Homo-oligomer: A and B are copies of this chain.
Amino acid sequence: MQVNHGALQDYSLTLDKIIGHAARWHGAKQVVTAGNGGLDRRTGYGELLTRARHMSAELVNHGVVAGECVATLAWNTEGHMACWFGIMGMGAVCHTLNPRLAADALAEMLCQSQARIIIASAGQLELVDRIAAQGTALETVFVIDETRPATPPATLRLAIARFGDRAAGAKVDWGQFDENQPCGLCFTSGTTGSPKGVTYTHRGNFLHTLRQLQADVAGITERDVVLPAVPMFHANAWGLPFSCPAVGATLVLPGRNTDGGSLARLIVEHEVTIAAGVPTVWLDLFDHLDREGIEIPSLRRIMGGGAPMPEALQRRIAARGIEVQQTWGMTELSPLGTAMRPGDAEPVTGTSGIPALGLDLLLFGHDGEPLAEQRDGEGRLHVRGPSVVERYFGQNQSATIDGWFDTGDLAMIDRAGNLRITGRAKDLIKSGGEWVNPVEIENVVGSLPQVSKVAVIARAHPRWGERPVMVVEIADGDSISDDALLEPVRHRFAKWWVPDDVIRVNSIPLAATGKIDKRLLQERYGA
């Protein structure tokens, strides 16, 4: 009965193959990086591959070995992208750092990753100095994205290096390793709790790329011009720096500035067709477009994620003939979880589509068992897939239960299969023994056209334990009474859900990822 089956080829799914494919089949297609005064830089994928290989060789010359973490502290630029492929291509691990975080937080992450080398944008040398002063394993800083030679702070105790046009050393081997090799490290910069490191692997990112490129997910083609307004230091810029070269789409990288004016200029000048980012970025953009009377006819789709997009904003976007594609993801998912199918967009706040093949969702009840009926009931969202975390960086115990990762989110799945995140299990407010869900209130109030941003937080209360209070930012030129703000809450929810207080602020603070900084709000208004 034993037969001698044939076999298919070994072909490890490593990320060097993505930039190699881009260079080979889309070598003339470009990565465009926003420059000062509109002097944008253009780099073909062929050239990007050459630069990345030179960087690999330079890192090898500096003693970097496979599996070692190399840190980056940079914006979305072609220089940063070349670093990614240079680090990952040789089997090292790219530890991306968020330049908007404080030096001590970054130093703590670096102590964990033990990076000896940090690659930093020219403008970040002051921050590198402050980080290095905290005591890390850092030895050398490579400076990238220089428009003119940067002057390092006199106090800087690291060696300064630069990537030459060609590496001094021999050509390095690329991609000759197992696909489960780590390639990246990103600490969740979550708005609550202490950051945990998520390790990405070549296999995880490669499969994420294929999943994202499906016509019913991001559906990016060679003809697209894609603007990731989501930073590369945060969950791989949603995987777009992999997906775009994989199909030869043009990438437009905004550098440091993602304000409405900067994005509008890039969209118009480079005829961007797809843009991706968190809702607050789009609020800024559309305010700017309205104020300045700018049209952006090339843009056909905005991928929103990171937080639910308010209905009013969705309507503003749709009114210009641009499709809104809501997605849901997490750093722990590499990061894409679900996406509305292109063409299915309806302005419903918080509905974020279905998972593509390669991600499984399962809702669990309070008893820790999967809900018998997975549709139309709220449960705690667990996920499973080849791009989902199994074990956090530096930890020995699994982050999964029976193979499923608990997102900590509460969610519902409607009859059509669309996921809606209904709250964070740990963000729930307990008032007099009853649960209040801030996200539900935010979705209802956020759909009022006068409301630009809204957050509901817990305030300590002597009798009820906690009570909800609401922080709102009203849209420019609009006004609305407290009563009108609370009216839809009274109408939709139980009496104890109605916030005790409405706190009006000029500008709701955002965390480094562009999401509302609830931790800060909690500190300010929750006492």
Known: A3-B113, A25-B354, A355-B25. A8 touches B199 (CB 8 A): yes
- Report if A209 contacts B (CB, 8 A): yes
- Report if A21 contacts B (CB, 8 A): yes
Interface flags for A362-390 (1: CB within 8 Å of B; 0: not) read: 00000000000000000000001111111
State A214–B249 Cα separation when bound (angstroms). 13
Determine the residue in chain B with the shortest Cβ distance to A393.
B6
State A475–B117 Cα separation when bound (angstroms). 70
Whether B222 pairs with A388 at a CB distance below 8 angstroms is no
Pick from B4, B203, B210: contact of A210, CB under 8 Å: B210
- Give min CB distance, A350 to chain B, whole Å: 19
Interface flags for A190-202 (1: CB within 8 Å of B; 0: not) read: 0000000111110
Determine the residue in chain B with the shortest Cβ distance to A219.
B215
User: Residues of B contacting A93 with CB < 8 Å?
Assistant: 5
Whether A7 pairs with B394 at a CB distance below 8 angstroms is no
- Report if A392 contacts B (CB, 8 A): yes
Binds B, one of A10-18, A38-46, A316-324: A10-18
- Report if A282 contacts B (CB, 8 A): no
Pick from B199, B214, B360: contact of A213, CB under 8 Å: B214
Determine which residue in A17, A26, A68, A210 has the highest number of CB atoms from chain B within 10 A of its CB, and name it: A210
- Give min CB distance, A7 to chain B, whole Å: 5
State A385–B17 Cα separation when bound (angstroms). 11
How many copies of this chain are found per oligomer? 2
Whether A221 pairs with B211 at a CB distance below 8 angstroms is no
User: Residues of B contacting A390 with CB < 8 Å?
Assistant: 6-10
Whether B405 pairs with A9 at a CB distance below 8 angstroms is yes
Interface flags for A69-104 (1: CB within 8 Å of B; 0: not) read: 100000000000000000000000100000000000
Determine the residue in chain B with the shortest Cβ distance to A394.
B4
Determine the residue in chain B with the shortest Cβ distance to A356.
B247
- Report if A391 contacts B (CB, 8 A): yes
- Report if A481 contacts B (CB, 8 A): no
User: Residues of B contacting A247 with CB < 8 Å?
Assistant: 214-216, 356-357
State A182–B2 Cα separation when bound (angstroms). 13
Determine the residue in chain B with the shortest Cβ distance to A387.
B8
Binds B, one of A50-58, A261-269, A395-403, A501-509: A395-403
Pick from B5, B18, B220, B385: contact of A9, CB under 8 Å: B385
Determine which residue in A1, A18, A204, A389 has the highest number of CB atoms from chain B within 10 A of its CB, and name it: A1
Determine the residue in chain B with the shortest Cβ distance to A246.
B357
- Report if A298 contacts B (CB, 8 A): no
> Could you jot down 12 A-B contacts, CB within 8 Å?
A3-B114, A3-B394, A5-B199, A6-B394, A7-B199, A8-B200, A9-B390, A9-B405, A10-B390, A13-B386, A21-B357, A24-B360
* Nearest 9 A/B pairs, CB to CB: A6-B199, A210-B210, A11-B386, A215-B219, A6-B393, A215-B215, A8-B204, A9-B390, A213-B214
**Residues in A lying within 8 Å of B, measured CB to CB:** 1, 3-11, 13, 17-18, 21, 24-26, 67-69, 93, 112-114, 116, 180, 182, 185, 197-201, 203-204, 207, 209-211, 213-216, 219-223, 246-247, 334, 341-343, 354-358, 360, 384-396, 400, 403, 405, 417
Besides A3-B112, A4-B393, A8-B204, 14 more A-B contacts (Cβ < 8 Å) are: A3-B69, A3-B114, A6-B199, A7-B180, A8-B388, A8-B389, A9-B390, A17-B357, A18-B357, A210-B357, A219-B219, A221-B343, A223-B341, A223-B343
